[in-house]
Amino acid sequence: MTGTVTKAATATKYMSWVTLALMTTSSVASLRAAPTMAVYGLACVFLYLLPALLFLLPTAFVAAELASGWAGGVYKWVGEGLSQPMGFLAVWCQFAMTIFYYPSLLAYVASTFAYIIDPSLAANGLYVAIVIITIYWVAVFVSSQGTKTVAGLSSMGLIIGTLIPGALLVVLGFVFLGQGNASAAPMDTGHLFPAWTGLASLVLIVNNFLSYAGMEMNAVHVSALRDPGKEYPKAMALAVGLVLAIFIVPAVVISWVVPSKNLSLTAGVMQAFDGFFNHFHIGFLTPVLGIMLVAAALGGMLTWLAGPSKGLLLIGRKEGYLPPILTRVNKHGVQQNMLVAQGLVTTLLALLYAFIPDVSSAYWILSVITTQVYLIMYVLMFVAAMRLRRNQPDHPRGYRAPALVALCGLGTAASIAAFLIGFVPPSQYGSGNAFGYVLLIGAGMGIVGLLIPYLFLRFRKPGWKFDVPQEALA
């Protein structure tokens, strides 16, 4: 009887590498990003593949080596490779970027849901703000029930709300063209690359670095795999393939049916489905697809709630970087107080949608600040990986990335380039004051990404440091 109980407990503890791959894909890829690049038509393939080569592949390979050698996520990697304070900064940036990520993600949810009840609400800032606030707090409650619940829901959300709708979108697109309908965007070889009209015309590519961000995030769950050294790289390889397919193909299909000048950055996916369904006289399916897309976005959000805050919790307790009120856990071992504190800030940011007339502008500004904060973490991660390979060459690793130094150099250069270009106002949003744009992005990044963690380190107290049972964080 005891043996049976032990086996059951072990089976409950471990997750398969496929589940981890789906969790990673859910946290990185969604149809939400497709409208942003669909405005470029066929050139979106180039604009997705370029950052994939420069950023996605280096991140996936480097994270695979780090996770197979050092359990605990980015805070452990940077802490070992550089220093504990730098490790704290890295995991803080990974956590802090979600403060801006949730409003932009949930704005997409609000716009998508608007197509179910009233499409005109998609551009209503007050409606968007109410949806963001409501859904975030519901997600906090769900996340507080434990990692196993989150893993199941995020995987289901990916399949139901991303893979199935994405496949349907592609099928409808090919049928649409097969009937002799003209593509809204040119599909000839002359449009393989975006037109060059100056640096501002390519600034939207910075959003693609954000789209690929998160490949390393679920490494905090590497201890839940039976054989991390072999299974984590396999999970990353599957996730990379799924991410590329989800990003590139639907973006091209959307460009077939929705003219770029009519695309909404938050509601473009539903515009495409609505156009297809009306063309094929099956408009009654629009609400169904809307619900499925909402499920995918919420699954991805649950993954983000479970990952970065868990890493911050561990280092906050172990090194005493955070006050005890933020590092308390509930009976499921979930950092509920930290999620609540984050939710208060998220609520304030959500109100931006109620006061900024153009919902797409608010969405873009929050997305860029998110990228800026997150890129700080990636630079630290790549530098730490090079130092660990040099200073701890004999440390056991289940996987060794090929040409690690070159990969880290490429990833670091790409991260810095994306960071710098993020301060250039995009041509699509060029009507405002350029200096004001730079000041807004810089202030958001500086306060959240640098000032706040500095204050935590500067004013920390010895009483903030205490041990936490490892099983509570598994």
> Which amino acid makes up residue 315?
I
What's the average model confidence in pLDDT over 62-71? 85
Q: Residue 382: what pLDDT?
A: 96
Q: Is residue 469 domain-resident? A: no
Greater confidence (469 vs 165) lies with: 165
Q: Is residue 121 domain-resident? A: yes
In the predicted structure, residue 433 carries a pLDDT above the cut 70: yes
Full domain range(s) for residue 234? 17-461
Q: Residue 362: what pLDDT?
A: 65
Q: Is residue 1 domain-resident? A: no
Question: What confidence category does residue 54 fall into, taking pLDDT thresholds of 50, 70 and 90?
Answer: confident
Question: What confidence category does residue 154 fall into, taking pLDDT thresholds of 50, 70 and 90?
Answer: low
What percent of the chain clears pLDDT 90, i.e. is strictly above it? Answer: 8
Helix (H), strand (E), coil (C) string for the chain = CHHHHHHHHHHHHCCCHHHHHHHHHHHHCCHHHHHHHHCCHHHHHHHHHHHHHHHHHHHHHHHHHHHHHCCCCHHHHHHHHCCHHHHHHHHHHHHHHHHHHHHHHHHHHHHHHHHHHCHHHHHCHHHHHHHHHHHHHHHHHHHCCCHHHHHHHHHHHHHHHHHHHHHHHHHHHHHHHHCCCCCCCCCCHHHCCCCCCCHHHHHHHHHHHHHHCCCCHHHHHHHHCCCHHHHHHHHHHHHHHHHHHHHHHHHHHHHHHCCHHHCCCCCHHHHHHHHHHHHCCCHHHHHHHHHHHHHHHHHHHHHHHHCHHHHHHHHHHHHCCCCHHHHCCCCCCCCHHHHHHHHHHHHHHHCHHHHCCCHHHHHHHHHHHHHHHHHHHHHHHHHHHHHHHHHCCCCCCCCCCCCHHHHHHHHHHHHHHHHHHCCCCCHHHCCCCHHHHHHHHHHHHHHHHHHHHHHHHHCCCHHHCCCCCHHHHC
Q: Is residue 467 domain-resident? A: no
Residues 239-264: pLDDT tens digits? 888 888 888 888 888 888 877 777 66
Q: Residue 281: what pLDDT?
A: 86
Q: How many structural domains comprise the chain?
A: 1
Q: Is residue 212 domain-resident? A: yes
What percent of the chain clears pLDDT 70, i.e. is strictly above it? Answer: 81
Q: Is residue 6 domain-resident? A: no
Q: Is residue 194 domain-resident? A: yes
Q: Residue 5: what pLDDT?
A: 39
Residues 172-225: pLDDT tens digits? 888 888 888 888 777 777 777 776 665 655 565 666 666 787 777 766 667 677
Question: What confidence category does residue 1 fall into, taking pLDDT thresholds of 50, 70 and 90?
Answer: very low
What's the average model confidence in pLDDT over 64-78? 84
Q: Residue 35: what pLDDT?
A: 74
Residues 6-23: pLDDT tens digits? 443 444 467 788 888 887
Q: What is the average pLDDT score of the chain?
A: 78
Output the domain CATH number for residue 44. 1.20.1740.10
Q: Is residue 7 domain-resident? A: no
Q: Residue 220: what pLDDT?
A: 63
Question: Rounded CA gap, 383 and 309, in Å?
Answer: 23
Question: Rounded CA gap, 379 and 447, in Å?
Answer: 18
Residues 143-153: pLDDT tens digits? 776 656 556 66
Which burial class, exposed, middle or buried, applies to 460 when counting CB atoms under 10 A from its CB (0-12, 13-18, 19+)?
middle
Question: Rounded CA gap, 462 and 18, in Å?
Answer: 42
